[in-house]
Chain A
Amino acid sequence: MARTVTYQQAINEALAQEMERDETVVVMGEDVAGGLGTDGERDAWGGPLGITKGLYGKYGDRVMDTPISESAFIGAAVGAATAGLRPVAELMFIDFMGVCFDQIFNQAAKFRYMFGGKAETPVVIRTMYGAGLRAAAQHSQCLYPVFTHIPGLKVVTPATPYDAKGLLIQAIRDNDPVIFCEHKALYTLEGDVPEEPYALPFGEANIVREGDDVSIVTLGRMVHVANEAAEALSGDGIECEIVDLRTTSPLDEDTVIETVENTGRLVVLDEAHPRCNMATDIAAMVCEKAFDSLKGPIKQVTAPHTPVPFADTLEDLYIPDAAAVQKAVKAVMESSK
């Protein structure tokens, strides 16, 4: 039965239900229980934002606090995944990939290929990404394109509570390494989520809104920005079709091509930096595979090529907003008359 829960509760519920179903599922990370080694309460934090709160009470030693040693515990999650566990490791902020990336891209991602198809590494690395919390340059990035670049990794960017639960359950059941990217500005977003466990397949984009004039292909928090823009544009008589990629690897190329074939116009909206991001990737793919369907040039709406700024005035300018999307959609309409 569906009820309204937050993105954060959906993630917690997915973890709890999978831990209940499969005792090889373990959760590890900094403060995921919290309070270890103190005189205070165990399960004190449940992660810095409380995402894993309550799991320690239910599953005890299967919820493991770690020292602040990302290389060691991300690597331990990877190693344990090759040895019979299904670890879900929490990399608190995606920006911290810098202190553990080797274990992700040189180890986890490559085992299966390097070992001739004989390895399975069912590890999930949950990580928080994105701007909007005035967290500045080292706690706000959208680094999913970096992971998407690496063969052997799957990369997931849920936009809604419903998707967060279903995609996380799929990630835990999946037999490949999965980078599960949670947008920090979405944790309080509410939405309908079934109580029972369900898995959403990877590589299946979601058509969030139908329209015949312009396609907006996007992901993560930007799905909501696209919706806001589309609502306003509808008032101007422009109907947008919004495609939420849901997973950047695997990528649902078919749905992207179909929407471009339908509308003939494309805006790609990505919160990541503009070089080698999902916008450039989608734009290149469409140019190669659906060029004849395009009625005019593609527009990309992205963050600028700068670190994420701190001051609210600057961060608000940095994050792509509905106005920028509306402008891009109108420009695409204009250049394709």
Chain B
Amino acid sequence: MQLSKDELLTAYRTMRTIREFEERLHIEFATGEIPGFVHLYAGEEASGVGVCMHLDDRDRIASTHRGHGHCIAKGCDVDGMMAEIYGRKDGLCAGKGGSMHIADLDKGMMGANGIVGGGPPLICGAGLAAKQLGTGGVAIAFVGDGGSNQGTTFESLNLASVWNLPCIFVIENNGYAESTSSKWSIACDDAADRASGFNMPGVVVDGHDFFAVYEAAGEAIKRAREGGGPSLLECKLNRYYGHFEGDAQTYRGPDEVKKLRESRDCLAMFREKVTGAGLLDLAQLDAIKSEAEALVDGAVAKAKVAPTPTAADLLTDVYVSY
């Protein structure tokens, strides 16, 4: 699958924006200004972007606790996301959702999800709606290695197969469900092995490699759009931070993250590949980095001074009518 220069720039810009967003949140969270729980996606960018580069607004995704990257990859407004994470009234969800519930249905983003394994059943519904209404859309459930062990995921794999839905289940295996190793908690070698039991293709890719994810996701999405049914894609990758911000990560080996950053960083791998092939030059990539930094700087600055919701907002938005 050949990507144009513009598409390569878009891919890098999106991954870079996610990285800047998450690295900045890591710093800002430590100041105590951000309420609640924050789960960072840094290190996993190639997965969300490699999949979502194939999608448009008619396509739906459902995300996880670790949802910021999926939101940005699916086109959610970065200012609105940051304001939401700060609990501001002009956040994407009016300050009522927060990091774990950022959503933008107009963009096809059905929400980060505070329930592990909450997304796959919803994605069966989005796939069903696309099929019944003939939109040509597909629906993607991002699931972590932890969520891959939930009954909801197994049930959804089966239902998607039985109903032949245009759904793709992307297992982002970052090696840890909270602090528990996926090598221990997943009974088979790869989560993707389970696909055969549901009569669908299951593929394992290096989730650090944008191009590998893009290629494998493209095949699955094309098949789904053409009526060929669901697929399972397992992206093996790593997260650079804890399960949540504040996690001391005592379960990880010494220098584990440092080594990963040096050897398996998806952004570095992307730069190397595109510059090595003469597709983009470093100056272009550096310029994108600066743009992403400025975008996130602006988002944080705006979020910090944005108005907070007030008593008048507490009781609204529960029902359409009541």
Chain A residues near B (Cβ < 8 Å): 24, 26, 61-62, 64, 66-67, 69, 71-85, 87, 102-103, 106-107, 110-120, 151-152, 154, 174-176, 203, 250
Contacts and interface: CB of A to CB of B under 8 A. Distances in A.
A114 B101 contact: yes
B85 to A, nearest CB: 13
B308 interface: no
Contacts of A75: 120-122, 124-125, 152, 156
Given A112-B317, A115-B97, A154-B319, A83 B118 contact: no
Contacts of A111: 103, 111
A268 to B, nearest CB: 23
Interface string B14-53: 0000000000000000000000000000000000000000
B159 interface: yes
Given A76-B121, A82-B105, A117-B317, A69 B155 contact: yes
B158 A72 contact: yes
B315 to A, nearest CB: 10
A85 to B, nearest CB: 5
Contacts of A103: 118, 121-122, 152
A111 B151 CA distance: 22
A83 B130 contact: yes
Contact of A112 (B92, B104, B106, B318): B318
Most buried by B among A78, A80, A81, A119: A80
Contact of B133 (A84, A87, A176): A84
A85 B132 contact: yes
A72 B154 CA distance: 9
B155 A79 contact: no
A85 B6 CA distance: 36
B91 interface: yes
Size bracket of the B interface: 35 or more
A69 B113 CA distance: 21
B67 to A, nearest CB: 12
A116 B114 contact: no
Contacts of B159: 66-67, 69, 72-73, 76
Interface in B131-153: 132-133, 135, 139, 151-152
Interface string B63-74: 000000000000
B152 A116 contact: no
A231 to B, nearest CB: 35
B322 interface: yes
Contacts, number: 160
A20 to B, nearest CB: 16
B277 interface: no
Contacts of B97: 114-116
B129 A64 contact: no
A201 to B, nearest CB: 10
Contacts of A83: 60, 125-126, 129-130
A-B CB proximity, top 9 nearest:
A75-B121, A79-B125, A116-B94, A79-B122, A117-B317, A80-B125, A72-B155, A83-B129, A116-B93
B114 A115 contact: no
B246 to A, nearest CB: 23
B311 interface: no
A72 B156 CA distance: 5
Given A112-B318, A119-B103, 16 more contacts: A26-B128, A66-B162, A67-B158, A69-B159, A76-B122, A79-B110, A80-B129, A80-B132, A83-B130, A87-B125, A107-B121, A116-B95, A116-B97, A116-B317, A176-B321, A176-B322
Nearest to B58: A83
A117 B322 CA distance: 14
Interface string B107-121: 000110111001011
B121 A113 contact: no
Nearest to B150: A71
14 contacts: A24-B133, A67-B159, A71-B121, A71-B152, A72-B124, A74-B121, A79-B122, A107-B118, A114-B96, A116-B95, A118-B106, A154-B322, A174-B321, A175-B321
Instruction: Identify which of B159, B319, B322 gathers the most chain A CB atoms within 10 Å of its CB.
Output: B319
Contacts of A203: 322
B251 interface: no
Contacts of B188: none
Contacts of B113: 107
Contact of A113 (B114, B156, B317): B317
